[in-house]
Amino acid sequence: MARLSDVIEEFIKSMIEGTEMGSVEIQRNELAGQFNCVPSQINYVISTRFSPDKGYFVESRRGGGGCIKICRIHFDNQSDKYLMHVLAEMGESISQRNAEIFVNNFCQQGVLTDREGKIMMAALSDTGLKEVPAELRDRARALQFKNIITALML
């Protein structure tokens, strides 16, 4: 028998596949009611099964009942595949130096322009993250880096 998380995941995936845009907006409370579970179960499924490293971009919208938008990332070219590979391999933290190496590689591969690379490094630098406590900076940098890469693929 399938676990509830698996059933919810498959339901959301079928909703996404049924759209032309490859995205869907869901209301967490409505979906929880449909599956007779708590809303945190929906959060769990979305956070563990629809992450950037699994090929999805998730955006939470507040107000008006709130909803969650889930977009499937399409790999139209080799650059997107390369970015997806980096996302999958990055891990939960990254140093400023390693981020610089990735960004320089992106520029050399033609995935980013030099200007985009400079903007990306400004956002990922220790200076750009100076308000984040030092012990959390590499984790925050990885989250920010993953979000930027995901946005590049949309």
Q: DSSP characters for 139-154?
A: HHHHHHHHHHHHHHH-
User: Letter for the amino acid at 32?
Assistant: A
Indicate whether 65 pLDDT > 60.
no
Query: What CATH number has the domain bearing residue 108?
Result: 1.10.1200
Domain count, the chain: 2
- Residues 6 or more apart whose CB falls under 8 angstroms from that of 65 comprise 27, 29
State which residues form the domain around 143. 78-153
Q: Which DSSP state fits 72?
A: E
Rounded mean pLDDT, 101-122: 91
Based on the domain organization, do 24 and 65 belong to the same domain? yes
pLDDT grade, residue 75 (50/70/90)?
A: low
Domain ends where: 72, 97, 126?
Answer: 72
pLDDT at 39: 87
pTM of the model: 0.59
Place 116 in a pLDDT band, splitting at 50, 70 and 90.
very high
Residue where a domain stops, chosen among 25, 49, 72 = 72
